[in-house]
Structure formats: structure tokens, C-alpha cells
């Protein structure tokens, strides 16, 4: 299944580190000292109408229902952005084989932890639960309740994702999808404009899960049982529903045939003024004409902007957004950017041109997508920030954005040349590399960009303008050196032949 020994080892290490991190987080947070409750701090008593702990665990516990709600929303959005669920093997390659839909659904559920955003949320929720929900039962009972909740959300989210795939494949599917999206956006805007975000979060249905956790930790099994039973039922029903809905969705005619959008003519462009422009035009069109890339970009932009708008973030938190968005945008296609040409890479390599133009054009498109996404999210978050920025805030946010875009583009081009994969990026669930490789890439990008984001976030609290400026300059130098190394590598005829043969493999 995973042929590359390097990827197999990488996945094993990633799996071991992921589990170890969760275990470590539970042990560390469950034994962490209890801070004093701040004067303005919320407590579980405020939320659940009962007496909560008079220390900082109450503050964290009070935030848990909102965090669980965010996880629930993520479980709905993630399959939507992936066109239903994750695929180990593209749908088009399985048509000749008798693979049953339940197998695909189970596979998709098993692959869920490979989504680093899902894993990070799990890590945060488990740690917060171990810290905040304390009692004679220890951390295991409340974490058990949390895991059942997560299973239910994941299964139900996939059912909803597949339902939308099916609806989209119907006669008026595209219009219906856009109407649904517009309705969701309008509701989010209404919540933001009328300042109902806080009230809505306070009334989150996930408070019931927190109640069950508090009862479980107090060894009140009878009190927690009804909620756990409901969640278990929801997980089971969600799984069955996913199988049925996915079966229905996958039997509908795909949106790729001769009557689909691929059959519609596109507008002709003027004759390009240079070779670089000609390549860039084709590359840019290759991104925007790919359904999975368009959908991924939409989700990537709408979610952070909506979340930032609802939350009214401080500038120290806004400095963390560019790394998140940059690595997310890169994972859409940037990590295997040369696959945009598909089998056409073979034909392009027979045209007389400077090969560096091809690489530069791909880097430019990746930079456009990553940089554009970061800019839009920053504007969205900046407009709704909780205060006006000072010069230090602006320096840090701009530095974080420029550094992350440069680092991500350099990393993407390096990976594209050294680890090419064949990827059509045509089907609704196509990814630029196999799921295992994507998991490793996302961990790698997240580690680098989050570190950079944290450095700039902390810098907002200092009054040393030189800190963000020097960090930005250093990171830009690093990215430039990486890009120059990649260019040199691409200049080698054997490397180029290997990349072209791989991405063009039929």
C-alpha cells in the first residue's frame, strides 16, 4: 500500500509521535498545578448553573463546550472540503474492481487521523479535558466520554459530506450547493453583526457532553450514561448513514462526463507576450479549473475568515493565522506543483525553452495562491480585531505573512522536485500525493510554520521592532537559499527527466 520505505518509516514515526504526544499531554496536564481563578474568568458554574471549581480549571472547562462545538463543525467541514471523505486510491482507478461502498467508508474513517487539523484538535481537547475535568475518577472517564463524542461527530460529519456530494451531482446540484453556502455565510454574518456569537456559544449543545464528563470524573456512572448512550448511538447511526448516503452519492453520475463542466468551452485568451507568461497562464488555469482545488481554497478562506470574524481576535493571535493558512493552501497542490501539467509535462519538456521557466511559473502560482489566501484571511481578521494595531503588531503580522509565504513556497518547490508524484487532481477527492505522504507533508509544514507563527506572536508583546524585522530577514534568506538549491537541482537533466517521467506516468 505504501511502497516507499521512507514514507513507511515516516508514517510509523509520525504515528508513534502522535500517540506519545497525546499520552504526554494527558499525563502533563492532569498533574499540572491549579492556577487561581482570574477576576473576570468564567467557570463551569456560570455555564452549567451549578457550583464549579474555584480555580483556573473552571475557566478551561467553561471553554470546553465551545471547543467541542468547533470540533463538531470541523468534522462537518473537513469531509465537505474533501468531497465526501478521504480516499486511499482515486475513485477513477477503482471502477474496474468490485470494491464495496462500506469498504470505502471504513477506509475514509480510518484515514481521518491523517488530517493534521483533526489531530491537533483532538490533542487540544484531550489535554484541556485532562487539565480541567478533575476528580476521583482520574482523566480516563472524561476522556472516554470525549472520545465517544469525537467518534459521533466524525461519523455524522462524513454522512453530511457525502450527502452534499450526492446533492451536487443532481440536476440543480451546483445551484443548490451555492445557495446552501450563501445561507451559511449569511447566518454567520448575521451572528457577527448582531454580536450574538457569545450567547450562541454559551447555549452550545455540547454543554451536555461537559456535564457527562463532570459526572464521569465524579464516578457518577448513572449520570453520565444517558449522554454516552446517545453519543454511541449517534456514532453507530452516523456510520450506517454514511454507508447509505455514500452509496447513493457514488451511484449518481459524476460531474466529469461529456455533459459535465469539462464539455463546456472556455474563453480564449490573448496570445501571451512571453514564454514565461504563456506558461503562467496555463498553470494558473490548471489551478482554477480543478474542482478539488477550487473547493479546497473556498473552505480554506471561508473558515478562518468566519472564525476570526466571530472571535474578534487580538493581534497576537492574528499573527498565528498566516502560518495556518499558508500551510493549508500549500497542501492543496503546492507540495506537488509540477503535477499540474500531468502527462503534458512530457510534451512541454520537448518544447524549446529554459527549464527554469517551468519551475518559476509553478512557484509563482503557488505563491499567488498561498499569498492571496493569507492576505484575504488577514484582512478578514484585521477588520474584526479586538483593538487597533500598533506599529509592533503590524510589523509582526506582516513579517509572519511574508516569512510564511516565502518558507512555504520554497518548501513546496523543494518537495515538488525531490518527491514528485503522479496526480490528476481531477476527481472530487483527488489529492496531490497519497494520503500517507500528505500526512507527513502536513506535519512537516505545520511544524515549521507554527514555530514561525509563535515567534511572531510572542514578538507582538515586545517593544523591540528589530525582533520581527531580523526574524523576517533571516527566514527570507533561508527561503531564498532553499529556492536556489531547488533551481540548481531542477537544472540537472537527470533530475528533470525523473520528475517528468513520474508526474506524466499514465
Partner 1 sequence: MSSAVVPSGVPVDVRGLVVTFGQVHAVEGLDLLVPAGGAVALVGRNGAGKSTTLRVLGGVLPPTSGVVHVGGVDAAREPRRAREVVGYCPDVGGLIPRATPWEHLQLAARLRGMGPEWEGRARDLLERFDLAGASDRVASGFSHGMGRRLSVLLAAFHEPAVLLLDEPFDGVDPLGVEATLEEIRRARMRGAAVLVSTHLLELAVQACDEAVVLRAGSVVAASPASELSGEAGAARYRELLT
151 is written with which cell numbers?
Answer: 467518534
Closer to partner 1 by CB, 27 or 505: give it: 505
Q: Which of 106, 174, 353, 364 binds partner 1 (CB under 8 A)?
A: 353
Main-chain phi, psi angles of 55, to 5 degrees = -145, -170
Span interacting with partner 1, options 93-101, 107-115, 261-269, 431-439, rule CB under 8 A: 261-269
Say how far apart CA 276 and CA 285 lie, in whole Å: 14
Q: Choose, by CB under 8 A, the member of 342, 371, 399, 434 that binds partner 1.
A: 342
Site membership for partner 1, residue 348 (CB under 8 A)? yes
Neighbouring C-beta atoms of residue 50, cutoff 10 Å? 11
Looking at the Cβ atoms of 97 and 271, the one nearer to partner 1 is: 271
Asked if 64 contacts 132 with a C-beta cutoff of 8 angstroms, the reply is yes
Residue 31 is a binding residue for partner 1 (CB under 8 A): no
Size of the site for partner 1 (CB under 8 A): 49
Q: Of these, 271, 388, 391, 461, which contacts partner 1 (CB under 8 A)?
A: 271
- The interface mask with partner 1, positions 50-89, x = CB under 8 A, is ----------------------------------------
Q: Which of the ranges 59-67, 273-281, 362-370, 405-413 carries the binding residues for partner 1, by CB under 8 A?
A: 273-281
Nearest residue (CB) to partner 1, 3 versus 268: 268
260: contact with partner 1 by CB under 8 A: yes
Contact between 286 and partner 1 per CB under 8 A = yes
Rank residues 450 and 502 by Cβ distance to partner 1 and give the closer one. Answer: 502
Beta carbon of residue 497, minimum distance to partner 1 (angstroms, whole number): 5
Closest alpha carbon to 133 in 30, 224, 203: 30
Sort residue 425 into left (φ over 0), alpha (ψ -120 to 50) or beta: left
272, 356, 465, 481: which one binds partner 1 (CB under 8 A): 272
Question: Least distance from C-beta 263 to partner 1, angstroms?
Answer: 6
Between CA 279 and CA 348 the distance in angstroms is 10
Chosen residue from 21, 94, 282, 454 binding partner 1 by CB under 8 A: 282
Question: Counting contacts by CB under 8 A, is residue 346 touching partner 1?
Answer: yes
| Distance (Å) of CA 438 to CA 122, 419, 441 | 19, 12, 5
Length of the chain: 506
Nearer to partner 1, 38 or 274 (CB): 274
C-alpha cell at position 496: 528533470
Q: Which of 1, 96, 264, 461 binds partner 1 (CB under 8 A)?
A: 264
The closest alpha carbon to 84, from 278, 273, 242, belongs to 242
- Grid coordinates of 433: 500525493
3 forms part of the interface with partner 1 (CB under 8 A): no
Sign of CA dihedral 432, 435, 441, 443: positive
Range 99-107, long-range pairs (CB < 8 A, 24+ positions): 101/243, 101/246, 101/247, 101/250, 102/243, 104/246, 104/250, 105/158, 105/239, 105/242, 105/243, 105/246
Task: Encode 27-44: b = buried (16+ Cβ within 10 Å), e = exposed.
Answer: eebbeeeeeebeeebbbb
Footprint (CB under 8 A) of partner 1, residues 423-452: 424-426
How remote is the C-alpha of 214 from its chain's centroid?
31
Residue 193 binds partner 1, judged by CB under 8 A = no
| CB 346 within 8 Å of CB 500 | yes
Angle between helices 391-418 and 493-503 (to 10 degrees): 90
Nearer to partner 1, 66 or 290 (CB): 290
Q: Render 243-286 in DSSP notation, one character per residue.
A: HHHHHHHHHSPPTTSTTSGGGS--PPPPPPSSHHHHHHHHHHHH
Q: Select the residue interacting with partner 1 from 174, 244, 289, 485 (CB under 8 A).
A: 289
285 belongs to the binding site for partner 1 (CB under 8 A): yes
CB of 285 to partner 1, least distance (A): 6
CB 74 within 8 A of CB 124: no
CB-based contact 338:286 (threshold 8 Å): no
Q: 478 to 497, contacts with partner 1 by CB under 8 A? A: 493-494, 497
Output 194 or 350, the one with its CB closest to partner 1. 350
Question: Out of 31, 347, 465, 474, which residue is the one contacting partner 1 (CB under 8 A)?
Answer: 347
Q: By CB under 8 A, is residue 5 in contact with partner 1?
A: no
Q: How far is the CB of 431 from partner 1 (least distance, A)?
A: 15
Nearer to partner 1 by C-beta: 194 or 494? 494
Is residue 352 a contact point for partner 1 (CB under 8 A)? yes
Which residue among 256, 307, 375, 476 contacts partner 1 (CB under 8 A)? 256
Question: Mask of contacts with partner 1, 322-341, x by CB under 8 A?
Answer: ------------------xx
- Kindly list the residues in this chain that would bind partner 1 in the complex (CB under 8 A): 256, 258, 260, 262-269, 271-272, 274-275, 277-279, 281-282, 285-286, 289-290, 340-344, 346-354, 424-426, 493-494, 497, 500-501, 504-506
Amino acid at each position: 500500500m505504501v511502497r516507499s520505505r521512507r514514507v513507511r518509516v515516516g508514517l510509523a514515526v509520525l504515528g508513534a509521535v502522535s500517540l506519545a504526544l497525546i499520552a504526554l499531554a494527558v499525563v502533563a496536564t492532569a498533574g499540572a498545578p491549579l492556577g487561581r481563578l482570574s477576576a473576570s474568568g468564567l467557570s463551569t458554574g456560570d455555564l452549567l448553573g451549578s457550583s464549579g471549581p474555584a480555580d483556573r480549571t473552571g475557566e478551561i472547562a467553561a471553554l470546553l463546550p465551545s471547543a467541542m462545538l468547533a470540533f463538531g463543525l470541523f468534522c462537518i467541514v473537513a469531509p465537505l472540503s474533501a468531497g465526501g471523505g478521504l480516499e486511499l486510491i482515486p475513485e477513477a482507478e477503482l471502477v474496474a474492481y468490485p470494491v464495496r461502498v462500506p469498504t470505502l467508508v471504513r477506509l475514509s474513517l480510518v484515514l481521518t487521523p491523517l488530517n493534521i487539523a483533526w489531530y491537533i484538535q483532538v490533542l487540544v481537547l484531550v489535554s484541556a479535558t485532562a487539565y480541567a475535568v478533575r476528580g476521583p475518577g482520574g482523566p480516563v472517564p472524561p476522556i472516554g466520554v470525549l472520545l465517544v463524542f469525537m467518534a459521533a461527530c466524525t461519523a455524522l460529519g462524513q454522512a453530511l459530506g457525502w450527502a452534499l456530494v450526492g446533492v451536487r451531482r443532481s440536476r440543480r446540484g451546483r445551484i443548490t450547493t451555492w445557495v446552501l453556502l450563501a445561507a451559511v455565510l449569511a447566518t454567520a454574518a448575521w451572528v457577527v453583526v448582531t454580536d450574538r456569537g457569545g450567547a450562541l456559544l454559551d447555549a452550545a449543545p455540547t454543554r451536555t457532553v461537559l456535564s457527562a464528563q463532570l459526572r464521569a470524573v465524579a464516578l457518577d456512572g448513572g449520570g453520565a450514561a444517558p449522554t454516552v448512550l446517545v453519543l454511541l448511538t449517534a456514532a453507530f447511526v452516523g456510520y450506517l448513514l454514511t454507508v447509505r448516503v455514500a452509496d447513493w452519492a457514488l451511484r449518481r453520475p459524476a460531474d466529469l462526463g461529456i455533459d459535465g463542466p469539462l464539455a463546456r468551452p472556455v474563453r480564449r485568451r490573448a496570445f501571451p507576450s512571453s514564454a514565461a507568461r504563456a506558461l503562467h497562464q496555463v498553470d494558473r488555469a490548471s489551478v482554477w479549473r480543478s474542482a478539488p482545488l477550487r473547493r479546497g481554497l473556498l473552505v480554506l478562506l471561508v473558515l478562518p475568515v468566519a472564525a476570526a470574524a466571530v472571535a474578534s481576535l487580538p493581534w497576537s493571535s492574528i499573527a498565528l493565522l498566516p502560518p495556518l493558512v499558508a500551510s493549508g493552501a500549500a497542501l492543496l497542490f503546492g507540495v506537488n506543483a509540477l503535477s499540474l501539467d500531468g502527462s503534458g509535462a512530457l510534451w512541454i519538456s520537448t518544447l524549446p525553452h529554459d527549464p527554469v521557466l517551468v519551475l518559476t511559473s509553478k512557484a509563482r502560482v503557488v505563491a499567488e495562491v498561498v499569498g492571496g489566501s493569507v492576505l484575504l484571511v488577514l484582512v478578514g481578521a484585521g477588520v474584526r480585531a479586538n483593538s487597533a494595531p500598533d506599529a509592533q503588531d503590524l510589523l509582526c503580522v506582516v513579517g509572519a505573512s511574508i516569512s510564511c509565504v516565502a518558507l512555504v513556497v520554497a518548501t513546496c518547490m523543494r518537495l515538488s522536485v525531490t518527491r514528485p508524484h503522479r496526480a490528476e487532481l481531477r476527481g472530487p477527492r483527488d489529492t496531490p500525493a497519497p494520503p500517507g505522504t500528505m500526512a507527513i507533508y502536513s506535519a512537516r509544514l505545520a511544524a515549521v510554520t507554527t514555530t514561525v507563527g509563535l515567534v511572531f506572536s510572542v514578538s507582538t508583546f515586545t517593544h523591540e521592532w528589530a525582533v520581527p524585522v531580523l526574524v523576517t530577514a533571516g527566514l527570507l534568506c533561508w527561503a531564498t537559499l532553499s529556492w536556489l538549491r531547488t533551481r540548481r537541482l531542477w537544472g540537472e537533466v537527470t533530475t528533470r527527466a525523473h520528475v517528468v517521467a513520474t508526474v506524466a506516468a499514465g
